[in-house]
Structure 1
């Protein structure tokens, strides 16, 4: 189902899959929705009232995960048939398979620049793939459990893995070393999501909690309670104020950071020699402050409307000037052609 978050707006139900849906993602443009299912298929939906979809006969077993590339041109799918497959979005054709995992593949994600793919499997490995060469360039080992979920840091230099051993690990994909280890949950960690700036990481666990980790300080910041069953976090929004979670009791909710319990103790790491802080991107999210209730102040609204009006006037003025310039060019061209004709006429008369 697709929900409109505005008040008193209905949800749209999309029917098509024959069994449980395992993963859903919007394309970067927001014009398409991809879904994967236990029915071994992937569907590409147009998110409107018609609910039209195209079916990919994707795998020979349950499809656990589907994700778009950053440019929205490619899909990657992960399946219980131990393979990862890539597909074109617009032509809706199969490209190639990646098949070195020895057990179910839980998750597969593109890097921010679309050059790499990271995957996690029940074979207790996390593999890093080169999309162009189609080769596995490194395999990270999970000894105590397997990774349910894996994703790239927004900078593309690190990956984070949500593990069944109740912990979250952050790895450097260049040195292939573990940077940080967060044994903060009391149950399997089901999923995670980086803040767009890369400074924070939110995790969701079968212990019915969400936890927000400060990657710069290497410590746990908040624990969010509310659900009674295991949780899965989908994504931190770009405004940094909310995160959407889904639970196995089929409820969805938006959790605010306000009112959450605050922790100041540091999280233990595997070794001081091996672990260091994650380097975030240099750019930071810019937040425009408004009214205390989240609305834009009326004075700012009036100012913006005035600026927009002035821009409209300027646009119209430039358009009129362009039209006049075009007319002037046409008249000048006509005068030059007339002068050339007169000159040729006089030249012919003199020769005669």
Structure 2
């Protein structure tokens, strides 16, 4: 079976941003990609050949985060200008502004049912908003430094957050209490997220590590030291079997979580990679970074019959992974491959 799978390949470049890319997010139907940048713009890229991209203007400072709502009818963005904006993802891109925090907003995240939005800010708080009439619901205050990221669990019952206070906190959305606390002496997590079944969280560490914790057992399951720069972002494959990380060493790394090892290093960007995200079905992923380019990759390696992560214990790993499969340099032309398509925005 395994021989049917192939290595990931770079499909397209999207060029149009004028500064570093901070986040990328696929639409639920997999036909579009939203990107956010230091240039204060959002862009919405259409995958259809010759389809034009839309540029959304409204934020007055760096856009730090962007996400589609689960139904794809809204796009939320966070900015250093202290606001959150909700956009209609069409060619007009009308938006409404939420004066969200008293300091830069670092992340936005919709709950799976699309009813709530969580925002994380350098004002040390996490806020939860009702999308019905866009009103404020409650704040979570326990972090003692900037909050980098806050994410709902798949069932919406928990929120995980990470902060420069070097803690990762888990909150119960019912009683608004902090129910769990993971602290790290070395660095802080730049980004944190739940795995697709909600049993684990993964952190992207400024100390160059990727860590996976079981939140029911409260223990560290896997610890990867595969990057030589701070890890900025990560994304779980929808199967939960793979994770991809983006780091300041200029690489993307693909981890096989069932085997507990590194399987690919992707060298597509020049300079730090700030963000990476799988599409909702997992067949594509996109990355962006300091080089202002957005790269679209075809996954290929995930065609294996899916093994459920629940049924296999994650192997515990504390050292550098064994030599991995492949370094992929998409810039070298392969005779059997067509030209990589570049989409530019005038």
Residue matched to 1:152: 194
Question: What is the rounded CA distance, in whole Å, between the counterparts of 2:172 and 2:129 in structure 1?
Answer: 16
> What is the CA RMSD across the aligned residues, in angstroms?
1.7
| Counterpart check, 1:66 vs 2:108 | yes
Measured after TM superposition, the shift of residue 13 of structure 1 is: 1.2
* 3-state SS in 2 of match to 1:91: helix
Question: What is the rounded CA distance, in whole Å, between the counterparts of 1:257 and 1:207 in structure 2?
Answer: 21
Question: What is the rounded CA distance, in whole Å, between the counterparts of 1:234 and 1:11 in structure 2?
Answer: 19
* 3-state SS in 1 of match to 2:133: coil
**1:93-132 → structure 2 map (5 Å cutoff):** 93-132=135-174
| Counterpart check, 1:270 vs 2:314 | no
Question: What is the rounded CA distance, in whole Å, between the counterparts of 1:183 and 1:268 in structure 2?
Answer: 13
| Counterpart check, 1:205 vs 2:253 | no
Instruction: Name the TM-score, length of structure 1 as normaliser.
Output: 0.73
Question: What is the rounded CA distance, in whole Å, between the counterparts of 2:197 and 2:264 in structure 1?
Answer: 23
Residue matched to 2:53: 11
Measured after TM superposition, the shift of residue 249 of structure 1 is: 2.1
Measured after TM superposition, the shift of residue 234 of structure 1 is: 3.4
Question: What is the rounded CA distance, in whole Å, between the counterparts of 1:107 and 1:37 in structure 2?
Answer: 13
Question: What is the rounded CA distance, in whole Å, between the counterparts of 2:282 and 2:74 in structure 1?
Answer: 24
Residue matched to 2:268: 226
Deviations 1:220-253 (A, max 9, x none): 0111001111113332124433210011121101
Deviations 1:115-154 (A, max 9, x none): 0000000000000000010000011011110000000011
Question: What is the rounded CA distance, in whole Å, between the counterparts of 1:122 and 1:243 in structure 2?
Answer: 28
Question: What is the rounded CA distance, in whole Å, between the counterparts of 1:240 and 1:114 in structure 2?
Answer: 22
Residue matched to 2:131: 89
**1:303-318 → structure 2 map (5 Å cutoff):** none
Question: What is the rounded CA distance, in whole Å, between the counterparts of 1:268 and 1:99 in structure 2?
Answer: 33
* 3-state SS in 2 of match to 1:13: strand
| Counterpart check, 1:140 vs 2:140 | no
Tell me which of 50, 53, 56 is aligned to 2:92. Answer: 50
Q: Which has the higher contact order (CA 8 A, sep 6+)?
A: 2
Measured after TM superposition, the shift of residue 6 of structure 1 is: 1.0
Residue matched to 1:237: 279
Residue matched to 2:65: 23
Gaps of 5+ in 2: 1-42, 302-314, 320-336, 338-346
Q: Does the Cα contact within 8 Å between 2:221 and 2:316 map onto a contact in 1? A: no
Question: What is the rounded CA distance, in whole Å, between the counterparts of 1:117 and 1:91 in structure 2?
Answer: 22
Question: What is the rounded CA distance, in whole Å, between the counterparts of 2:219 and 2:196 in structure 1?
Answer: 18
Gaps of 5+ in 1: 260-266, 272-292, 294-352
Measured after TM superposition, the shift of residue 268 of structure 1 is: 8.5
Question: What is the rounded CA distance, in whole Å, between the counterparts of 2:300 and 2:240 in structure 1?
Answer: 20
Q: 1:258 to 1:208 in 2, by over 3 A?
A: farther
Tell me which of 210, 231, 244 is aligned to 1:168. Answer: 210
Q: Does the Cα contact within 8 Å between 2:149 and 2:192 map onto a contact in 1? A: yes
Structure (1 or 2) with the greater strand fraction: 2
Residue matched to 1:40: 82
* 3-state SS in 2 of match to 1:24: strand
